[in-house]
Amino acid sequence: MTLYMTPRHRARMQHAYPGDRVARHVGIHGDVHVPVDVKEEQDAFVIIATLPGLEADDLNIEILENIVDISGEFKKEDEEDDEYLRSERAVGNFQRRLRFATKLEAADAEASLKNGILTLRIAKVEEERPKTIKVKTK
């Protein structure tokens, strides 16, 4: 049996069952789910996160050994007494924690935020990078 959970359902499950092993395993914490894509290059990892409406000052990125932690808050900018017919925009805290198989070089990390898309490039530690060995012929 295959179970597919939408991000909204996963967020609800986390609130209903805070000790849920699945919610912790996927690295989702907070009120809002932030989708990410992760690419591996030969010497680095690239994380792309969708963060509409956030400014660079609203983000906190921490890297420790092989764990990347991206957190922040989507704030509601409208008046408290405004009445909406429908309100679906994300509001609240978010945190994504991603664990990698290799150690990361935090000093060489580069992050940019453009049009609500965060692109984070983190180099692998030199000793973790693949080595090319040339074979000599006699």
Alpha-carbon gap, residue 36 to 51, rounded angstroms: 10
pLDDT digits (tens, 9 = 90+) for 35-46: 999 999 988 999
- Please, what's the b/e burial string for 81-106 (b: 16 or more CB within 10 A of its CB; e: otherwise)? eeeeeeeeebeeebbbebebeebbbe
Length of the chain in residues, anyone?
138
Q: Under a CB-based contact definition with an 8 Å cutoff, are residues 28 and 15 in contact?
A: no
Residue 70 scores a pLDDT above 60: yes
Q: How many domains does the chain have?
A: 1
pLDDT digits (tens, 9 = 90+) for 74-126: 887 766 667 878 878 888 899 999 999 888 999 989 999 999 999 999 999 88
Tell whether 61 is covered by a domain: yes
pTM of the model: 0.69
What is the extent of the structural domain holding 39?
Answer: 32-77+89-127
Q: Provide the pLDDT confidence category of residue 27 given band limits of 50, 70 and 90.
A: low
Q: What is the CATH number of the domain that holds 107?
A: 2.60.40.790
Tell whether 20 is covered by a domain: no
Tell whether 105 is covered by a domain: yes
Tell whether 25 is covered by a domain: no
Which class for 61: exposed (0-12), middle (13-18), buried (19 or more C-beta within 10 A)? middle
**Tally of CA atoms within 13 A in the half-sphere of 113 that contains its CB:** 14
